[in-house]
Structure 1
């Protein structure tokens, strides 16, 4: 096989096509995670109750006691108060409770098979995955740069492609600096 921009571009793209597709899906999922997050899909919801109390009584000790009284065996992520509404987030479940009435809701979540795992590709921090992702990033740069030299003539990068590339680069810069 002859080492050309076309061959390099094609073979690296073929090698990474699965990861490109998985990253594309997981990126889209993460962009819209407030609407639907495949790592946290609600599968049960039940009414729960507790002894009414005041919003001022909610502290770390109260949350620990509440968790034990409801037999919630899950890792506490965070809690917050909004007026009289207590929100507690655990690893796989959330509680929303009106502390003055003692009535609330416990929602349990699960991960959507395959789709939920794909979203982890963007947030995984294991050493292996970080290095593999770095190699993937370099490969994407090689694909981008070799792609600039594949087409010849009037539609080449030098004649026309650089204008489209400049416009394509302008969009993220606009979002980054003007809208961010």
Structure 2
């Protein structure tokens, strides 16, 4: 008499299909969160201390501007020549030879006599600026729903992943040891380093 084959769990194919489809949806979000997490975890390694923006400095020679009269007129002329549409937060004299024009992410140091302009500012880093904006939930209420759905999806992936494979390589084999290791890593770190 032939040995009876063990019954296959009928629910396991459904778990694999669910795991696969949720995994596909999670790929884009995982890239965003992982990239941002790496950038933010190493914030002190960025030369300008901010993974979202990079500092820059540029100089411009605009010609004499002092004859325009008021500081506001000079500031308007500088903005026009440099094609800056943003309204300055502040225009003030740092000294007789230097007019400061400050914006949210840049400052212009203008010598009205010579027209020499030093442009100090920050430019967003490609992709990282937006990844960090999403990761740190700057999008507020609407993005909170997306982030919560993503977190729930990760919980489903983690849970379904434990039961996709049967036998020695499954959860009740080496899987339980690996899950225990995953739980032990943060526990041991907290025990040694403390919150």
Where in structure 2 are there 5+ consecutive unaligned residues? Answer: 1-10, 60-89, 95-99, 108-118
- Out of 5, 12, 20, the position equivalent to 2:30 is 20
Change in Cα spacing, 1:121 to 1:175, as seen in structure 2 (3 Å) is farther
Where in structure 1 are there 5+ consecutive unaligned residues? Answer: 47-65, 76-91, 95-105
1:107 is displaced (CA, Å) by 5.0
Change in Cα spacing, 1:168 to 1:45, as seen in structure 2 (3 Å) is farther
Task: Give me the whole-angstrom Cα distance separating, in 2, the residues matched to 1:41 and 1:12.
Answer: 35
Highest Rg: 1 or 2? 2
State how 1:3-14 maps to structure 2 within 5 Å. 4-14=14-24
What's the secondary structure of 2:44's corresponding residue? coil
What's the secondary structure of 1:44's corresponding residue? strand
Aligned to 1:69: 93
What's the secondary structure of 2:126's corresponding residue? coil
Task: Give me the whole-angstrom Cα distance separating, in 2, the residues matched to 1:169 and 1:157.
Answer: 14
Q: TM-score, normalised by structure 2?
A: 0.60
Task: Give me the whole-angstrom Cα distance separating, in 2, the residues matched to 1:122 and 1:170.
Answer: 26
Supply the RMSD in Å over aligned alpha carbons: 2.7
Task: Give me the whole-angstrom Cα distance separating, in 2, the residues matched to 1:174 and 1:93.
Answer: 45
Residue 118 (1) aligns with residue 118 (2): no
> How many positions carry a matched residue from both structures?
134
